[in-house]
Structure 1
Amino acid sequence: MQTVVDLIIVSGETAVDLALYLLLPVLVVLMALMRVLEDKGLLALIAKKISPLLAIFGLPGLGVFAMIQILFVNFAAPISTFKIMEQDGSITNRKIAATLAAVLVMSQANAAFPLAVVGVNIPIAMLTSVLGGLLAGYLAYKIHGEDEQTAALEATKNIKAEAEKKDLRLIPLLFKGGAEGLEIVKKSIPPLVLAIFLVNVLREVGAIDVLETLMAPALTRIGIPGAAVLPIATKYLAGGTAMLGILLDLMQEGAMTVAELNRVVGFTLNPFDPVGLALLISAGPRIKEVVRPAMVAAVIGVIFRGVLHLLIF
């Protein structure tokens, strides 16, 4: 019983540290900025210009903001864009599904840039991110589907929401956006604690060791060393941040070559894990509704991106 209690306490500490020292500052600032851009009409203008390019893949114009945020800020940054999309009734659920799928496939900056120090090819990682993300977005858009009645209902909600908007000055807008960021962080803490606790339990009962034993033979056949089993298993159980530390240690010890590292990150350098999912779906109920099609499409996108890395490296 004491072991369970200790796991709960450790999981809680990890989740709160992540929420307070990573999510809180990033989301408060980004939500404040996004609210100002939205109120001044800049978001709508940019989205309108970009929409024709992304429409082919089922992504809304705002989808480009989420893609840029994951590539250049960190895995939590797209939450601010999802929050805006969540409240915009003109953006249908299937487009939100496409955007979520794309983000789940792409490299998160908080892991990609530290790994660049030990040999990760950032330009290639970003190129495969965009290609894999667009493929996943297209597939999620097709898998989800949505009837015209639902789309019309969402558009009606948007018209009502616009009518209720008040003209706010810059400082109140910043405070409003910051407060929304704080609310997102508060809502993200419970799923974070539960996700991290589950991972810690699996690690405690030896599930990761079993995975290592099962995965090693298959991975070595495609050019990924047995040493990579631990970071891969850790990634899909404990998240990208935990994987980052292990990969850095392996590279410093000389257990992996640069080419092997670049093969591994094709499958793992993304927010598609329990922690990443828990954070992204905390943006709102509409995001939660589209998780299934987004995850199915993201699986295909991650495999596609991983194969590209195997071919390139």
Structure 2
Amino acid sequence: MNIIEIIMSAGRSSVDIALYTLIPVMVVMMVMMKYLESVGVLAKIVNVAAPLLKPFGLTGLSLFALIQLNFVSFAAPVATLAMMEKKGVSDRHLAATLAMLFAMGQANALYPLAPLGLHWLTAVLLSIVGGLAAGAATWYLFARKLAIKEVISAEDAAVHSPQKEGLLSIINGAGGESIRLALGAVPMLILSLTVVGILKSAGAISLLEQMLSPVMHALNIPTVLIMPALVKCLAGGTAYLGVTTELLKGGHMSVETLNASAGWLLQTFDLPGVGIMLGAGFRVARVARFAILGGLIGIALRGILHAVIY
């Protein structure tokens, strides 16, 4: 096992993800968010959506994160999380929003799998159901002791009102912030991909497959899901997409199995996903332990609903 080679490979893959996936998506989304804020549209949408999402422990900005994750990419909501932290959204609301994101499906996996047989509309609807359940569970149970008062410093108070800025200034400011956030996720990506490489090289993944096969048979769960599940947890949604696509095209996985397992496997709660989300800010990372519990509730609900329907 050549550990140096594994680390170098993980580094190249992580930089590739940061440069060609995170930065482009985050720059566009952050510029859009900043522009909508500067013209006052963001404040209006937040005010309208806030009462509808309040029972789930979410804010109006949480709606943006929900739309971005389900219809853009797993990286898109990071810009919204960063804005929520900067705007002084309370720790309890941040935890509920983060839990919602952990529990929902990511568009960059949902869309490519649709032509291969994934029932996209059902998957998105159940993704939203699971996200709302995760937010509510975190708000009412796991994060109920966190502060609900907004944390607004003197310098950040101005963010709450529309700021008239030139388009070039918005692009430069949002672009710089997006690049900082994307590069901040690289260390976690490198570590997670290095762990995957070491486990593969040591034969641990093959051993896990052998150990889990009897349990999977006893629970009447297709053993073909072992590899996609392990890859998903350790390497993220993009790696899961690659493995699952090959299994579907090779006839090793059925469309029914894909749809039945989508609730469990199509979500952002994996090592790279968690690392990228926590890179949004210090307070986001601080409330993660509460959000993880709520996210697991939402994932479990989605998994059960998918299994029952399919």
1:171 aligns with 2:165: no
Q: How far apart in 1 are the matches of 2:96 and 2:281?
A: 16
Question: Following TM superposition, by how much is the alpha carbon of 1:26 offset from its aligned partner in structure 2, in angstroms?
Answer: 0.8
Tell whether the 8 Å contact from 1:54 to 1:60 is kept in structure 2 after alignment. Answer: yes
Match in the other structure for 1:97: 95
Match in the other structure for 2:118: 120
Amino acid at match of 1:10: S
Tell whether the 8 Å contact from 2:98 to 2:291 is kept in structure 1 after alignment. Answer: yes
Q: Give the match's secondary structure for 1:62.
A: helix
Identity of aligned residues (%): 38
Question: Following TM superposition, by how much is the alpha carbon of 1:151 offset from its aligned partner in structure 2, in angstroms?
Answer: 4.3
Amino acid at match of 1:139: A
Match in the other structure for 1:41: 40
Q: Give the match's secondary structure for 2:105.
A: coil
Tell whether the 8 Å contact from 2:185 to 2:279 is kept in structure 1 after alignment. Answer: yes
Question: Following TM superposition, by how much is the alpha carbon of 1:214 offset from its aligned partner in structure 2, in angstroms?
Answer: 3.0
Q: How far apart in 1 are the matches of 2:247 and 2:300?
A: 23
Q: How far apart in 2 are the matches of 1:39 and 1:201?
A: 47
Any stretches of 5+ residues in structure 2 without a counterpart? none
Match in the other structure for 2:61: 62
Alignment partner of 2:157 out of 162, 167, 176: 162
Q: How far apart in 2 are the matches of 1:41 and 1:48?
A: 11
Q: Give the match's secondary structure for 1:37.
A: helix
Match in the other structure for 1:308: 305
Q: How far apart in 2 are the matches of 1:152 and 1:236?
A: 34
1:212 aligns with 2:209: yes
Q: How far apart in 2 are the matches of 1:205 and 1:126?
A: 37
- The CA deviation string for residues 127-159 of structure 1, in whole angstroms up to 9 with x for no partner, is 110111111111111211246xx54461x42x5
Amino acid at match of 1:126: V
Q: How far apart in 2 are the matches of 1:151 and 1:126?
A: 29
Question: Following TM superposition, by how much is the alpha carbon of 1:170 offset from its aligned partner in structure 2, in angstroms?
Answer: 2.2
Match in the other structure for 1:203: 200
Match in the other structure for 1:267: 264
Q: Give the match's secondary structure for 2:230.
A: helix
Question: Following TM superposition, by how much is the alpha carbon of 1:96 offset from its aligned partner in structure 2, in angstroms?
Answer: 0.8
Q: Describe how 1:101-250 pairs up with structure 2 within 5 A.
A: 101-142=99-140, 143-146=142-145, 150-152=147-149, 154=151, 156-157=152-153, 160-163=155-158, 167-250=164-247
Q: How far apart in 1 are the matches of 2:246 and 2:107?
A: 19
Question: Following TM superposition, by how much is the alpha carbon of 1:222 offset from its aligned partner in structure 2, in angstroms?
Answer: 4.8
Any stretches of 5+ residues in structure 1 without a counterpart? none
Tell whether the 8 Å contact from 1:75 to 1:276 is kept in structure 2 after alignment. Answer: yes
Distance 1:292 1:182, change over 3 A: same
TM-score (norm 2): 0.94
What RMSD in Å do the two structures reach over aligned CA positions? Answer: 1.8
Tell whether the 8 Å contact from 2:93 to 2:148 is kept in structure 1 after alignment. Answer: no
Tell whether the 8 Å contact from 1:19 to 1:185 is kept in structure 2 after alignment. Answer: yes
Distance 1:93 1:312, change over 3 A: same
Aligned pair count? 307
Q: How far apart in 2 are the matches of 1:145 and 1:109?
A: 30
Alignment partner of 1:258 out of 255, 259, 266: 255
Q: Give the match's secondary structure for 1:254.
A: coil
Q: Give the match's secondary structure for 2:156.
A: helix
Q: How far apart in 2 are the matches of 1:247 and 1:163?
A: 47
- The CA deviation string for residues 166-209 of structure 1, in whole angstroms up to 9 with x for no partner, is 64222211211111111111211122111211222222222222
